[in-house]
């Protein structure tokens, strides 16, 4: 039986977090926090955060301080009801600790982490395909490999922490969208 109010979608780039997050948010009526979209919106809108993001975004992961500042300034507590799905955050341990404590302070403590597992080659292939379709500047072959190596290095301690602090569900991200969605729904009891 489903009884969560926070879902962390974690996995390498190209694992389908965005697709699965949107499907889950629609099904559950949860707010969908997509870090990538929020960053693109902040860059487009200008202001002090735009300058900080642009200054530190040279293809590397943004600093933990900047990520937590963005969350504090942009996550409205009203968006937490009835629940929230996080995609693209947390990527590092400091972000995970901050988010878990922030959510507990808001009485949102029924947390589950869905880890969409996808191999390195599959990630590269999916991101390359996406780059061709969407003409995304951040998906050049060099940037893809660099981002995946950053992700791999940062995610291990984050996953260990989330395994302790949340219910942890490991899902194979290689099958079709429909099959992955069905696996997630079954694991969550919805």
pLDDT tens-digit readout, 46-76:
777 777 787 665 556 788 999 999 999 889 8
pLDDT of residue 3: 94
Any idea what the CATH number is for the domain that residue 57 is in?
3.40.50.300
**83 part of a folded domain:** yes
Rounded to 10 deg, the angle between the 17-28 and 177-188 helix axes is 50
Tokens of 89: 């955050």
pLDDT at residue 137 in the model: 65
Q: The pTM is what? A: 0.91
CA 150 – CA 181 distance, rounded (Å)? 27
Q: Let me know if residue 74 belongs to a domain.
A: yes
Q: Is residue 1 part of a domain?
A: no
> What pLDDT is attached to residue 58?
57
Q: Which residue has the tokens 């965005």?
A: 18
Beta strands at 167-172 and 31-34: parallel, antiparallel or unpaired: unpaired
Query: What's the pLDDT score for residue 130?
Result: 82
The CA distance from 74 to 85, in Å, is 15
Q: Is residue 155 part of a domain?
A: yes
pLDDT of residue 135: 72
The rounded average pLDDT for each run of 10 residues, N- to C-terminus, in the chain (190 residues) is 95 94 97 90 80 67 89 89 95 96 95 95 88 73 84 92 98 96 97
pLDDT of residue 26: 97
What range defines the domain where residue 64 resides?
6-188
Quote the pLDDT of residue 47.
Answer: 73
Tell whether 173 is covered by a domain. Answer: yes
Indicate the number of domains in the chain: 1
């Amino acid at each position: 039986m489903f009884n969560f109010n926070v879902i962390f979608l974690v996995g390498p780039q190209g694992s389908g977090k965005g697709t699965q997050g949107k499907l889950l948010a629609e099904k559950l009526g949860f707010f969908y926090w997509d870090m990538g979209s929020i960053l693109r919106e902040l860059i487009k809108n200008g202001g002090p955060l735009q300058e900080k993001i642009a200054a530190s975004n040279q293809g590397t992961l943004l600093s933990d301080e900047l990520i937590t500042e963005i969350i504090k300034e942009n996550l409205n507590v009203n968006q937490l009801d009835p629940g929230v799905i996080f995609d693209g955050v947390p990527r590092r341990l400091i972000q995970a600790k901050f988010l878990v404590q922030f959510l507990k302070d808001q009485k949102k403590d029924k947390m589950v982490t869905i880890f969409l597992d996808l191999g390195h080659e599959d990630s590269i292939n999916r991101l390359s395909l996406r780059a061709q379709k969407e003409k995304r500047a951040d998906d050049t072959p060099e940037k893809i490999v660099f981002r995946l190596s950053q992700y791999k290095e940062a995610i291990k301690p984050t996953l260990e922490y989330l395994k302790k602090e949340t219910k942890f569900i490991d899902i194979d991200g290689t099958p079709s969208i429909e099959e992955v969605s069905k696996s997630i729904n079954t694991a969550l009891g919805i």
